[in-house]
Amino acid sequence: MLEFIEIPTASFVKTEFEITFSNEGYPTYIHINKPSSALALIQVPLSIIRSIVEIPAPLFQFRINMNNMKSQAIKSDYDYRRAVLDYTYKLKELENTQEKPDSSR
């Protein structure tokens, strides 16, 4: 005798079906896990809205990172120019001290 067991399916959800047979071939355990299709249908627009709301956060973080990188570049440029200027002043001071005759003799 051949019998069929209908496995229920639903849209928007994953149906889990588990069946165990005896040695004679009779089903001894049947378990169906089918989440609510209505709940899944309602969650689709919510997940879309949640995704849209989450998009600006990485964009704002990107802008913050870019602004931080720009300010670091400006500070590095300032530090470099300041170091070159200090070096130039110290070099001129050294040249001026070497050019002056020794007045203690």
* pLDDT tens by residue, 48-102: 888 887 777 777 788 888 889 999 999 999 999 999 999 999 999 888 888 766 5
Cβ-contact 12, 41 below 8 angstroms = yes
Cβ-contact 32, 20 below 8 angstroms = no
Residue 21, burial from CB neighbour count under 10 angstroms (0-12, 13-18, 19+): exposed
3-state secondary structure of 41: helix
Confidence of residue 37 (pLDDT cuts 50, 70, 90): confident
Report pLDDT for 101: 62
Q: How far apart are CA 65 and CA 59, in angstroms?
A: 10
Q: How far apart are CA 20 and CA 14, in angstroms?
A: 20
The pairing of strands 27-33 and 16-21 is: antiparallel
pTM of the model: 0.38
